[in-house]
Amino acid sequence: MESFSPQKYHIKTFGCQANIADSNTLSGILEAVGYEYNPSDENAENESTALKKILSETDLFIVNTCSVRQKSEDKVYGIGKVLKELSLEKGRKPYVVMAGCMVGSVTGERQRYDFEILRKKTPWVDLYINPSQIYDLPHKLHEKGVLSEWAVQKFDPKNVASKQPQTKQAFVNVSYGCDNFCTFCVVPYARGAEISRSEEEILKEIDHLVKRGKTEIMLCGQNVNSWGLDMREKFEIRTGSVHKLPFAELLRKVHAIPEVQKIDFMSSNPFDFTTDMIDVLKLPKISNYLHIAIQSGNNDVLKKMNRRHTVEDFLSLIEKIKKVRPDIELGTDVIVGFPSETRDQFMDTVKLFQTVKFNVAFISMYSPRKGTPAEKFFKDDVDQAEKKWRHAHLTDVWKKSKVE
């Protein structure tokens, strides 16, 4: 294949803040080797039209995928239909790279299912990279004949700065991967073992960002509370313990940077939110919004989910947090219709929502994710109609609790 250097790139991102941070890094990498960003058409009449237009004008297209929910994967598969239409109409398509959790799920030591299954579903993809291979992208593009040797030779990953949106906020990953293995979750497989970035590397990136006008920093990780801990430590810590956390100290150091005006972080879990973390919330630059995933309001369901906390742990934690920040806004994640969840167990979640007035709630209906323990060992025995009713009922309870 003849070597050439595409002039324009575009990245379509699905999923969480960690994926957004990864896409920002990918943008920095591509621009370091000579690519130019091609923005979406905000005036397009619908999303499909906008996507087709951007694909027709782009040389290199990256879809950064999420596989936490089936709906997220279905959106990715939908891109294939648009690419097929474009190929028929224009006789060409951009060079397509698939990144993110869908690729992570079929590669690495924690592979959830066979790579060939993904390949067959996405024949329109030219190159696959998992989240740990982001900095290898220029070399992989060179191997495929898409990027010149000169561009690869000048690429230095140590000097790459993530490209952040034109806002005051910047996303900074403090860690990659996860070791929690909640039974429903794909992240430990899709993103691999939890690895903390060094404090030096994180602070250096934040220094770079504030020099470019960023004043609001969002620290991202699948479980930020366990940043800097070894495997033994992270599983010994429990809600409300007096254990000093490296992440709490990192927050204090970021707080001490004069240019930083606001600090957010996510995600936190209840099971390792210690008194040290609660104490950090007193700092004035720490955001008044805190996201802590409860997942269920019933202890039996939490145990089946392999969550290391109880409802009582969660309520006690919220009470302590509100003593420090009485007006704090709270967000959470909940799954309804988990295998064998009864109506009564679901109503425990409803009671929790009536007790804790969440400002933000991401309520999801359980969907089996291939290769997870829940998919392998639990029967998906709550029918879809019941899941929809529970989703609608809990959503209604949540919305009413917000205005009380």
Q: Count Cβ atoms within 10 A of the Cβ of residue 59 and give its class: 0-12 exposed, 13-18 middle, 19 or more buried.
A: middle
| Greatest alpha-carbon span in the chain | 65
- DSSP assigned state of 305: T
- Assigned token pair, 274: 């210690």
- Tokens 């409300």 found at: 240
Are 268 and 292 in contact by the 8 Å Cβ rule? The answer is yes
Do 62 and 74 touch, CB atoms closer than 8 A? no
Return mean pLDDT, the chain.
Answer: 91
Q: Note the pLDDT tens digit of each residue in 279-326.
A: 999 999 999 999 999 999 999 999 999 999 999 999 999 999 999 999
Q: Is 42's pLDDT higher than 70? A: no
pLDDT of residue 403: 58
Whole-angstrom distance, CA of residue 154 vs CA of residue 236: 45
**Tokens 């425990």 belong to residue:** 348
CA 383 – CA 367 distance, rounded (Å): 11
Q: How far apart are CA 70 and CA 75, in angstroms?
A: 9
Residue range 355-391, pLDDT digits in tens? 999 999 999 999 999 899 999 999 999 999 999 999 9
H/E run at residue 216 = strand 216-220
Report the alpha-carbon distance of residue 339 to residue 232 in Å, rounded.
Answer: 30
Facing residues of 332 across strands?
361
Give the residue carrying structure tokens 């988990």: 338
Residue 344 contacts by C-beta under 8 Å, 6 or more apart in sequence? Answer: none
Contact residues for 12 (Cβ-Cβ < 8 A; gap 6+): 51, 61, 62, 63, 64, 79
Q: Domains of the chain, with CATH numbers? A: 8-159 (3.40.50.12160), 164-287 (3.30.750.210), 288-404 (3.30.750.200)
- Residue range 73-95: mean pLDDT, rounded: 90
Whether the predicted pLDDT of 210 surpasses 70: yes
Q: What pTM value is reported for the model?
A: 0.85
| Per-residue pLDDT at 70 | 84
- What is the pLDDT at residue 2? 45
Nearest residue to 196 via CA among 178, 209, 183, 180: 178
* pLDDT value at residue 263: 98
Q: Give 43's pLDDT tier (boundaries 50, 70, 90).
A: low
User: What pLDDT sits at residue 49?
Assistant: 79
Q: For 75-84, what is the mean pLDDT?
A: 92
pLDDT at 122 over 90: yes
Q: pLDDT by residue (tens digit) across 128-147?
A: 999 989 999 999 999 999 99
325's tokens? 């920040």
**Buried/exposed 314-326: b ≥16 CB within 10 Å, e otherwise:** bbebbeebeeeee
